[in-house]
Structure 1
Amino acid sequence: MSGQNGQNGQNMAYSEAPAGVAARLSGGRWTRAARRAPRSPVLERVAIAVAALMVVIAVVGPLLAPHDPYAVDLGSALRAPSAEHWFGTDANGRDILSRVLYGARVTLLATVVVIIAATLIGTLVGTVAALGGRVVDEVLMRICDIGLSLPAIILALGLAAALGQGLDSAVIALAATWWPGYARLVRTLVREVRDAEYVDAARMIGLTRARLVFRHILPNALDTLYVQTTLDVAAVMLVISGLSFVGVGAQVPSAEWGAMIAAAANNLTNGWWAVVFPGLAIMITAIAFNLVGDWLRVRNDPTIREGKAR
C-alpha cells in the first residue's frame, strides 16, 4: 500500500506542480521538446552511455590527460589540432584536451555540490511547509515565489558578485537560488501522501512525526526527486559555466569549461578550437543528462508510459 500511494502521489505531483514553476520542474524548453519527439531506445541508451562516460571522465580524467593542463608553453601557443595536441593548444600553449579532461571534474563536481545542497534545503523547506500549518506554509511558499520569479542566473550573478569572484562563490550563490523549485516539488509530494491510509495507520500506532516523515512520507518522493535532479544537471552546469564566462565564477587559468571559453573568446578567429572543444563538452554533457532525466521520468511515471503505448 505504501508503494501504491507513493506512486499515486508521484503522478499527481507531476501533473499538479504550480503553474509558475512548471518550466523549472519539467527540465526546460529543450527537454519538453524532446518529450514530444518520437522516442528512440537507441538514443536513450546512447545518452545513458554518454552521461556515464562523462562521470567516469570526471573521476579519472586528470589521470588520462596527456599533458599538464596548467603548463604554459608560449612557443606552442594556438597550435591547431594535431597528433601531438588532439584538441590543439590555447593562447598560452596549454593542451586543450588535457584541460577539457581535467575540467570535467571541476565542472561536474561543482554541479553536483549545487544540486545536493539545493535538494537538501528544498526538501527541508518543502516538508516544513507541507506539515507546519497554514501560516508556515504561506510564509515559506511566498519566499519560494520570490525566488522563482527571477531567473536563477540573475540572482546567482548578483549574489556571486557580492561574495567575490571564484568558483566557491558561484556554487554557494547558485545553491542559495536553486532550492525554491525543489521546495515547491517536495511540498506538493508531501501534501499528497500525508493523508494516505498507510500514513494514518502509522500515525495511529504512535510513530513520532520525525519517524513518520523520514520513514513513510519522504521515501515516496525519492523517485520524483532523483528524476528532477538528473534533469537539473544540465541547467545547473550551464549556469555555472555562464557565471565563469562572465567572470564571477571560476577564474582563469582554471580548467573549468566556462572559464576556458571565456579565456579563448578573444582568439576565436585564429584559435577556434580553444572555444569549440570546451563548448562541445558542455553541450554533449547537457544533452546527455537531459535525455537520461527524461528517460527516468518516463520509467517512473505510468501515465507517460500509457500515453506512449496508445
Structure 2
Amino acid sequence: MNVETGSRLEDVPPGAPFEPAPPVPTWTATIGTGIARPVRRLFHRHTAFLDKFAFVLVALLVVVAIVGVFFQPYNPFDVDTRTALLPPSAAHLFGTDDVGRDVLSRILAGAALTLLSAAAIVLLSALIGVVVASVAAVLPRWADETIMRACDIFMSIPSLVLALGLAAALGPSLTSIIVAMVMASWPSTARLTRGILRETMTASFVESARILGVSRFRLMLRHVLPNSLDAIYVQASMEISGTIVMISGLAFLGVGAPPPSPDWGSMIAQGQQYITTAWWISLFPGLAITIGAIAFGLVGDAVRTFVDPASRRF
C-alpha cells in the first residue's frame, strides 16, 4: 500500500517507477539529532567536568593530607578545658571539641592517617588477591576449585562483620583495622581476579603461546597477568572509597586507633553525645569522610570508563 495516497501496489499503472514510502520517524532514529544532540553534548561535557573535578578533589585531599602532617593551626593533641565546646569562629574555624582541641587541626592530622590506611588496605588486598588467583590459575583443577571455594566461604560473611570481629579480637589499634580489613577484602579480590585470568587464558594469543610449549608459570607471568591488570586497577581504584567509609565505621564502633588519635570516625563517635549542642564536633569529620568517599568513588568510575570505553552510557 502506498503510504501517502493509501492506494494498493496493484493499482499503480504498469511501467510506473516504484517510489518507496519515506521511513517513519521513530524515537530511536532521532537520537543524536534535534533536541537530543545538545543533550548528548551537555552530558559528555558534564561527565568530563565530573572526572576532572574528581581528580582535582583527590589531588587536594592528598595535598591536605601531606600538609596536615606538618602544619596545623593548633596542636591536635593539646587539651585546654577553658576553650572546650567553642563554636566555629575566626580563631577556631571548625570549633573545638569537649576538651578544647581544635577540630580543624585534628581533621588535618587525621587526613593522612585515614587516606594512608585506605591505600595500604587496598594495596595489600590487591596484592594478596592477585597472588592467590595467579597461583590458583596455574595449579591443577582440583586445587583451583578448592582455593576458590575457600574464597567463597570468606565472602559469604559480610565484610564489615568479619572485619569487626577480627579487629575486636586483635584489640583496638590502627594496625588491627588494617589487618582485619585486608583479611576481609582479599577473598573478593582473588575471586574477581581469578575470573579475569580465566577469561584472558581463553584468548588466541595465550592459546598460541601454549601450543608453542610455554610453561604454565611463564604463561601466567608473561602473557596472562600483564593483560589482566587493567581490570585489577579499576577494582582497586573503586575500592578506596568504600575502604575509607569502612575504616571510619570501625573507628566509630571503637575498634580503631584509641584516643587521642585524630581518626575521623573516632571524632564522630566522641562528638555524638554533643550532637544537639556542639554539632560541629561530628559534622566536619563526617563531611571529610563524605568528600573523600565521593571523590575517590568518582575517580574509580572515571578510571573504569577510561579502561573500558564500552562502559560509557552514550
TM-score, normalised by the number of residues in structure 2: 0.82
Whether 2:298 is the aligned partner of 1:282: answer no
Q: Which residue of 2 aligns with 1:168?
A: 175
Unaligned 5+ runs, structure 1 = 1-36
- In the TM superposition, what is the alpha-carbon distance from 1:270 to its structure 2 partner? 1.6
CA shift, 1:162, in A, is 0.8
Native 8 Å contact 2:154 2:187 kept in 1: yes
Query: Are the equivalent residues in 2 in contact too, given 1:253–1:260 (CA < 8 A)?
Result: no
SS of the residue corresponding to residue 77 of structure 2 reads coil
Question: 89-98 vs 208-217, which deviates more?
Answer: 208-217
Distance 1:199 1:213 in 2: 9
Partner of residue 126, structure 2: 119
Distance 2:252 2:52 in 1: 32
Structure 2 residue 51 is matched with structure 1 residue 44:
yes
Determine the structure 2 residue equivalent to 1:262.
269
Query: Where do 1:93-172 residues align within 5 Å?
Result: 93-172=100-179
TM-score (norm 1): 0.83
Offset at residue 197 of structure 1 (A): 2.8
CA distance in 2, matches of 1:46, 1:64: 25
1:92 to 85, 99, 105: 99
Query: Distance between the aligned counterparts of 2:221 and 2:87, measured in 1?
Result: 55
1:249 aligns with 2:260: no
1:202 Cα deviation (Å)?
3.6
Residue 277 of structure 1 aligns to which amino acid in structure 2?
Answer: F
1:72 lines up with 2:79 in the alignment: yes
Give the gaps of 5 or more residues in structure 2.
1-42
CA contact (8 A) 1:89 1:95 kept: yes
Task: Determine if contact 1:252/1:263 at 8 Å carries over to the other structure.
Answer: no
- Letter matched to residue 131 of structure 1: V
- For the Cα contact (< 8 Å) 1:170–1:249, is it kept in 2? yes
SS in 2 for 1:50: helix
Choose 195-204 or 236-245, whichever is displaced more: 195-204
Does residue 271 (structure 1) correspond to residue 278 (structure 2)? The answer is yes
Q: Deviations over 1:26-51 (max 9, x none)?
A: xxxxxxxxxxx986222221111111
Q: Which runs of structure 1 show a deviation greater than 6 angstroms over 4 or more consecutive aligned residues?
A: none
Kindly provide the amino acid, as one letter, of the partner of residue 102 in structure 1: A
* Residue of structure 1 equivalent to 2:17: none
Contact 2:200/2:228 (CA < 8 Å) preserved in 1? no
Query: Which structure has the bigger radius of gyration?
Result: 2
Structure with bigger RCO (C-alpha 8 Å, 6+ apart): 1
Distance 1:275 1:286 in 2: 17
Distance in 2, matches of 1:291 and 1:88, equals 30
- Larger helix fraction of residues: 1
- Name the aligned partner's letter for residue 249 of structure 2: G
Structure 2 SS opposite 1:254: coil
Q: Could you tell me which amino acid in structure 2 is paired with residue 71 of structure 1? A: D
Distance 1:207 1:58 in 2: 47
Partners in 2 of 1:251 and 1:149 — Cα distance? 30
Aligned partner of 2:188 in structure 1 is 181
The answer to whether the 8 Å contact 2:85/2:97 transfers is yes
Aligned residues: 271
Q: Deviations along 1:70-117, whole A, 9 cap, x unmatched?
A: 111111111111111111111111111111111010011111111111
1:222 corresponds in structure 2 to: 229
**In the alignment, what sits opposite 1:13?**
none
Q: How many Å apart are 1:205 and its aligned residue?
A: 5.1
Q: Distance in 1 between matches of 2:222 and 2:82?
A: 62
1:7 match: none
**Deviates most, 194-203 or 157-166:** 194-203
